[in-house]
């Protein structure tokens, strides 16, 4: 069964996680680029490498020099580098010598990152607009959906982009990850360099806001804690971005009204520090008179807030849990036993010392976890509780799981097989020149090439079939007889395509060197997130006829520099043949459809001279049309009745077109065709073409909302 298209059907992933606390005003957000675009529009001659790594647009936090990520945020930088080393992802703009990402812009659309002399503080909406432009450019350049990774204010920029352009851009986005993201605002934004300067920023006194949230004791605790952070985090209260980041700002009131697209998975990582102050009459906890306060302060700069993406609380928030996604919290209880006398006098100098030490670390997000909190005691995911995890290990698992759960597209499938095959062949060719393996006396040494072959093949395939090839492969010209000599441009048929396995086939033509005339079956599997070949198998035409079409013969000839002309399609001794002019190395020849074998044209089927100039293929192929729609009640309908049958002959094609105008994000579908008598000749989302290659039954199944209970099935019979 072949999956043609699967639109917006993304499974929610439950993964255990851990968190490290970094900071909102830590130099981190989308990222600075030194050129006009991080993803320049490819030229018309550019071919997207759709089998390559998935692009990540990293959107950093405020006041960050994007060329110094390795020194300013070493753990984040190391994580991004490790992501690239998996081979599944490419962080756009990331390099050892010139780190650059999505750049902040000022109101005049000039780059204004710290690295370029700016201050990274224009309105968030300005950068949301620019991010919108870059998403489509990256999709076009890489040929794959992009991942958005927002740190701190970067999350606010991503939320703004999704609120404004989510319906348009959802089809270009694979998933979204937030790390300490500002989802509902940060209390620090309106406070600035001290409590006094922004005391009325919440619409009431600062003290009253915390007292309302946490009670008298908790409010006092929170006040002392955050005041120390604020004193160590001077910011420009007049900067547009700072005003946008304040809780209940116009930005959040507007942006958070709109839920992000439901078709995209979201993964949110945030801090969850709790300050605990049991109050005792006597020092040492000899007489406890109150539980005191348990004050959740998030990561210190962004308070927890609520899970609901549309909320806008008085104190802001970093939590975010949506329909397709999960969130993980770094949880830490910081317990200070406080005597009644100490509390009445000044609450707790310990709290001020504690927060002061955190802030003095040089980061603007409470960096307690950055240096010494790689582990967490408890994480909650839904109703499940998991223990002892590492933040970056958990995030890596999320990214790896997303990669491993992705079914490659038809184009990606072809490129995966092509690149793996080419990698194996190239490995042998490279060693020809390097080691001069030329004859029986100087044969190839398998142990020398085995490590490189394992980049393209499983251990079993390497140590069996490829080792046999090595023992017989004399270097010096290279004997291609041991490798598939097929051409995917002539025929490439996908038989199975899942996140973990691919089975596809192609064909070998007879030529002056080879006479195999085989169908070559390839099986590739995904191991640790990486595709490798598990086998290739040759099936002789006598066991499985090639059943060549005229189009395939013409394509093969063209690839070898000949503009072949069809003189006549006929039969000879009960076998289908093509009479062709200007074929590879032949001016006039008969080609057997079952095998690609060729021979002189027998006189009894030779067309007359008069008919040669006007001859056309007999039984010209017919293109059938199947137009289908998805209705607003989630059902499918088509121009061919449900359960009806289309009768075709070999060579005929079916053009399948989705014609309704409904939103593809909300009214998605999956379309399949089965059997091995049809092949995909033109892939596409709303329009694709399949062709009958041999006799037998097949079908087209349309699954509205990817539900088998809603299947609309059209039967096919190829005669």
Query: pLDDT tens, 224-236?
Result: 666 666 665 656 6
Q: Are residues 378 and 419 in the same domain?
A: no
Where is the domain boundary, 522, 540, 558?
Answer: 540
pLDDT of residue 97: 41
Dihedral (Cα; 379, 385, 390, 391), 10-degree rounding: -40
How many CA atoms does the CB half-sphere of 568 hold within 13 Å?
A: 19
pLDDT of residue 63: 67
pLDDT of residue 47: 33
Mean pLDDT of the 529-536 span:
91
- Report how far apart the first and last C-alpha atoms of the chain are (Å, whole number): 20
- Distance, CA of 567 to CA of 614 (rounded, Å): 9
Which tokens is 214 given? 């946490």
pLDDT of residue 710: 85
Nearest CA to 421 out of 509, 480, 497 is that of: 480
- Distance, CA of 245 to CA of 298 (rounded, Å): 16
Higher-scoring residue by pLDDT: 216, 420: 420
| CB contact at 8 A, 59 and 181 | no
Band of pLDDT at residue 218, cut at 50, 70 and 90: confident
- Distance, CA of 332 to CA of 272 (rounded, Å): 7
- Distance, CA of 216 to CA of 640 (rounded, Å): 71
Band of pLDDT at residue 100, cut at 50, 70 and 90: very low
Higher-scoring residue by pLDDT: 507, 641: 507
**Has residue 288 been placed in a domain?**
no
**Has residue 356 been placed in a domain?**
no
**Has residue 374 been placed in a domain?**
yes
Nearest CA to 262 out of 170, 128, 131 is that of: 170
**Has residue 223 been placed in a domain?**
no
**Has residue 338 been placed in a domain?**
no
Higher-scoring residue by pLDDT: 618, 142: 142
Where is the domain boundary, 505, 540, 575?
Answer: 540
Mean pLDDT of the 282-304 span:
67
Q: Are residues 497 and 556 in the same domain?
A: no
Does residue 35 have a pLDDT over 80?
A: no
Where is the domain boundary, 584, 612, 640?
Answer: 612
Q: What is the CATH number of the domain that holds 166?
A: 3.40.50
Does residue 11 have a pLDDT over 70?
A: no
Does residue 127 have a pLDDT over 90?
A: no
Does residue 175 have a pLDDT over 50?
A: yes
pLDDT of residue 14: 22
Q: Are residues 577 and 678 in the same domain?
A: no
> What is the share, in percent, of the chain residues with pLDDT greater than 70?
66
Which 8-state DSSP code applies to residue 326?
E
CA torsion through residues 443, 445, 450, 455, sign:
negative
Q: Are residues 462 and 591 in the same domain?
A: no
Tally the residues of the chain.
719
How many CA atoms does the CB half-sphere of 287 hold within 13 Å?
A: 4
| CB contact at 8 A, 210 and 225 | no
pLDDT of residue 586: 81
Does residue 115 have a pLDDT over 50?
A: no
Write down the mean pLDDT value for the chain: 73
- Distance, CA of 442 to CA of 63 (rounded, Å): 62
| CB contact at 8 A, 702 and 628 | yes
Nearest CA to 372 out of 399, 334, 410, 345 is that of: 334
Report residue 258: phi and psi, to 5°: -105, 120
Does residue 195 have a pLDDT over 90?
A: no
pLDDT of residue 619: 61
**Has residue 636 been placed in a domain?**
yes
Q: Which helix (H) or strand (E) holds 3?
A: strand 2-6
Nearest CA to 72 out of 36, 17, 25, 116 is that of: 25
Q: Which helix (H) or strand (E) holds 428?
A: helix 410-435
241-262 core/surface letters (b: 16 or more CB in 10 A; e: else): bbbbbbbbbebbeebbebebbb
Tell me the three-class secondary structure of 128-194, residue by residue: HHHHHHHHHHHHHHHCCCEEEEEECHHHHHHHHHHHHHHHHHHHHEEEEEEECCCCCEECHHHHCCC
Nearest CA to 268 out of 577, 15, 556, 526 is that of: 15
| CB contact at 8 A, 534 and 459 | no
- Distance, CA of 713 to CA of 719 (rounded, Å): 20
Q: Are residues 184 and 313 in the same domain?
A: yes
Mean pLDDT of the 530-551 span:
94
- Distance, CA of 124 to CA of 132 (rounded, Å): 12
- Distance, CA of 26 to CA of 614 (rounded, Å): 76
What's the pLDDT tens digit per position in 450-477?
999 999 999 999 999 988 887 766 544 4
Band of pLDDT at residue 191, cut at 50, 70 and 90: low
| CB contact at 8 A, 696 and 676 | yes
Instruction: For residue 442, give the 3-state DSSP assignment.
Output: strand
Band of pLDDT at residue 493, cut at 50, 70 and 90: very high
Distance of CA 127 to CAs 302, 335, 435, 669, Å?
21, 40, 54, 33
Task: Tell me the chain's radius of gyration from C-alpha atoms.
Answer: 32
Query: Looking at the 3D structure of the chain, how many domains does it have?
Result: 4
Q: Are residues 687 and 601 in the same domain?
A: no
pLDDT of residue 527: 86
Site of tokens 């939590």: 319
Q: What is the CATH number of the domain that holds 692?
A: 2.60.40
> What is the share, in percent, of the chain residues with pLDDT greater than 90?
22
Q: Which residues on neighbouring strands pair with residue 626, listed in sequence order? A: 656
pLDDT of residue 212: 78
- Distance, CA of 58 to CA of 148 (rounded, Å): 6
pLDDT of residue 328: 67
pLDDT of residue 442: 59
**Has residue 308 been placed in a domain?**
yes
DSSP secondary structure of 470-515? HHH--SSS--GGGS----TTT--EEEEE-SSEEEEEEE----SS--
Does residue 697 have a pLDDT over 60?
A: yes
Q: Are residues 56 and 94 in the same domain?
A: yes
pLDDT of residue 287: 53
**Which region among 119-128, 392-401, 647-656 has the lowest average model confidence (pLDDT)?**
119-128
pLDDT of residue 303: 86
Q: Which residues on neighbouring strands pair with residue 629, listed in sequence order? A: 637
Nearest CA to 549 out of 679, 436, 452, 409 is that of: 679
- Distance, CA of 366 to CA of 298 (rounded, Å): 9
**Which region among 12-16, 41-45, 380-384 has the lowest average model confidence (pLDDT)?**
12-16
- Distance, CA of 487 to CA of 622 (rounded, Å): 25
Q: Are residues 644 and 506 in the same domain?
A: no
**Which region among 200-214, 387-401, 613-627 has the lowest average model confidence (pLDDT)?**
200-214
What's the pLDDT tens digit per position in 576-595?
999 999 898 788 999 999 99
Strand 2-6 versus strand 89-91 pairing type: unpaired
Mean pLDDT of the 598-617 span:
68
Q: Are residues 603 and 636 in the same domain?
A: no
Higher-scoring residue by pLDDT: 441, 125: 125
Tell me the three-class secondary structure of 345-395, residue by residue: HHCCHHHHHHHHHHHCCCCCCCCHHHHHCCECCCEEECCEEECCCEHHHHH
pLDDT of residue 337: 54
Strand order in the sheet with 712-718: 2-6, 669-674, 696-704, 712-718, 645-648
Q: Are residues 602 and 632 in the same domain?
A: no
Band of pLDDT at residue 86, cut at 50, 70 and 90: confident
Q: Are residues 496 and 572 in the same domain?
A: no
Does residue 326 have a pLDDT over 70?
A: yes
Band of pLDDT at residue 312, cut at 50, 70 and 90: confident
**Has residue 486 been placed in a domain?**
yes
367-406 core/surface letters (b: 16 or more CB in 10 A; e: else): bbbbeebbebeebebeeeebeebbbbebbebbbbebbeeb
| CB contact at 8 A, 177 and 234 | no
Higher-scoring residue by pLDDT: 610, 101: 101
Taking residue 545's Cβ as centre, other Cβ atoms within 10 Å add up to: 17
Higher-scoring residue by pLDDT: 287, 669: 669
pLDDT of residue 31: 31
pLDDT of residue 643: 81
Helix axes 206-231, 349-359, angle to 10 degrees: 50
Higher-scoring residue by pLDDT: 242, 255: 255
Ranked by mean pLDDT, the top range of 59-63, 174-178, 401-405, 408-412 is: 174-178
pLDDT of residue 300: 75
Nearest CA to 408 out of 484, 489, 535, 494 is that of: 494
Does residue 148 have a pLDDT over 90?
A: yes
Band of pLDDT at residue 182, cut at 50, 70 and 90: very high
**Which region among 175-179, 352-356, 631-635 has the lowest average model confidence (pLDDT)?**
352-356
Q: Are residues 187 and 144 in the same domain?
A: yes
Ranked by mean pLDDT, the top range of 11-15, 639-643, 647-651 is: 647-651
* Domain interval for residue 644: 623-718
Q: What is the CATH number of the domain that holds 523?
A: 3.10.450
Q: Which residues on neighbouring strands pair with residue 518, listed in sequence order? A: 540
pLDDT of residue 330: 59
Q: Which residues contact 614 (CB under 8 A, 6 or more apart)?
A: none
Mean pLDDT of the 613-617 span:
46
Mean pLDDT of the 171-189 span:
89
Does residue 602 have a pLDDT over 50?
A: yes
């Amino acid at each position: 069964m072949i999956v043609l298209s699967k639109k917006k059907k993304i499974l929610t992933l439950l993964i255990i996680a851990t968190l490290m606390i970094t900071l909102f005003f830590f130099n981190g957000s989308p990222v600075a680029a030194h050129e006009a675009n991080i993803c320049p529009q490819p030229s018309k001659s550019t071919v997207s490498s759709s089998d390559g790594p998935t692009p990540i647009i990293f959107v950093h936090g405020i006041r960050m020099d994007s060329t110094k990520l390795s020194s300013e945020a070493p753990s984040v930088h190391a994580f991004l580098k490790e992501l690239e080393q998996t081979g599944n992802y490419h962080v756009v703009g990331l390099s050892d010598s010139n780190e650059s990402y999505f750049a902040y812009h000022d109101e005049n659309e000039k780059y204004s990152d710290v690295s370029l002399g700016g201050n990274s503080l224009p309105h968030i909406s300005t950068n949301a607009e620019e991010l919108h432009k870059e998403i489509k450019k990256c999709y076009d350049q890489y040929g794959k959906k992009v991942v958005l990774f927002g740190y701190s204010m970067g999350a606010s920029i991503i939320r703004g982009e999704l609120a404004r352009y989510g319906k348009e851009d959802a089809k270009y986005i694979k998933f979204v990850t937030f790390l300490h993201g500002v989802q509902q605002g940060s209390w620090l934004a309106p406070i600035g360099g001290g409590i006094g300067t922004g005391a009325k920023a919440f619409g009431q006194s600062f003290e009253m806001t915390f007292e309302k949230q946490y009670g008298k004791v908790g409010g006092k605790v929170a006040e002392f804690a955050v005041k120390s952070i604020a004193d160590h985090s001077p910011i420009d209260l007049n900067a547009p971005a700072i005003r946008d980041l304040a809780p209940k700002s116009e930005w959040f009131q507007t942006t958070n009204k709109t839920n992000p697209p439901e078709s995209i998975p979201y993964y949110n990582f945030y801090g969850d520090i709790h300050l605990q102050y049991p109050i005792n009459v006597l020092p040492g906890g000899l007489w406890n008179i109150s539980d005191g306060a348990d004050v959740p302060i998030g990561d210190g700069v962004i308070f927890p807030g609520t899970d609901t993406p549309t909320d806008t609380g008085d104190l802001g928030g970093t939590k975010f849990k949506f329909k397709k996604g999960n969130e993980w919290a770094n949880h830490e209880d910081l317990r200070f036993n406080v005597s009644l006398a100490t509390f009445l006098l000044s609450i707790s100098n310990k709290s001020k010392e504690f927060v002061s030490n955190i802030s003095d670390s040089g980061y603007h997000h409470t960096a307690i976890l950055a240096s010494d909190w790689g582990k967490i005691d408890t994480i909650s995911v839904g109703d499940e509780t998991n223990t002892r995890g590492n933040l970056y290990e958990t995030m890596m698992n999320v990214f790896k799981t997303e990669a491993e759960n992705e079914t490659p597209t038809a184009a990606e499938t072809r490129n995966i097989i092509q690149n793996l095959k080419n990698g194996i062949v190239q490995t042998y060719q490279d060693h020809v020149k390097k080691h001069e393996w030329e004859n029986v006396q100087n044969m190839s040494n398998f142990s020398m090439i085995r490590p490189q072959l394992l980049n393209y093949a499983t251990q079993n395939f390497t140590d069996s079939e490829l080792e046999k090839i090595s023992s017989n492969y004399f270097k010096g010209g290279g004997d291609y007889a041991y490798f598939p000599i097929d051409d995917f441009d002539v025929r490439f048929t996908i038989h199975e395509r899942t996140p973990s396995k691919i089975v596809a086939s192609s064909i070998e033509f007879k030529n002056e060197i080879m006479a195999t005339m085989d169908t070559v079956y390839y099986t590739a599997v995904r191991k640790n997130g990486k595709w490798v070949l598990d086998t290739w198998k040759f099936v002789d035409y006598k066991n499985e006829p090639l059943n060549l079409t005229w189009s395939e013969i013409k394509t093969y000839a063209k690839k070898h520099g000949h503009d072949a002309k069809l003189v006549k399609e006929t039969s000879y001794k009960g076998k289908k043949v093509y009479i062709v002019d200007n074929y590879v190395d032949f001016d006039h020849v008969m080609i057997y459809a079952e095998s690609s074998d060729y021979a002189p044209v027998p006189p009894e089927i030779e067309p007359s001279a008069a008919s040669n100039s006007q001859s056309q293929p007999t039984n010209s192929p017919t293109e059938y049309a199947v137009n289908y729609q998805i209705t607003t009640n989630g059902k499918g309908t088509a121009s061919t009745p449900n359960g009806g049958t289309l009768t075709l002959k070999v060579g005929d094609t079916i053009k399948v077109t989705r014609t309704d105008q409904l939103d593809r994000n909300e009214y998605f579908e999956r379309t399949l065709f089965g059997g091995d008598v049809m092949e995909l000749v033109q892939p596409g989302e709303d329009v694709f073409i399949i062709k009958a290659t041999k006799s037998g039954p097949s079908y087209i199944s349309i699954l509205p909302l990817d539900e088998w209970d809603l299947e609309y099935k059209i039967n096919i019979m190829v005669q």
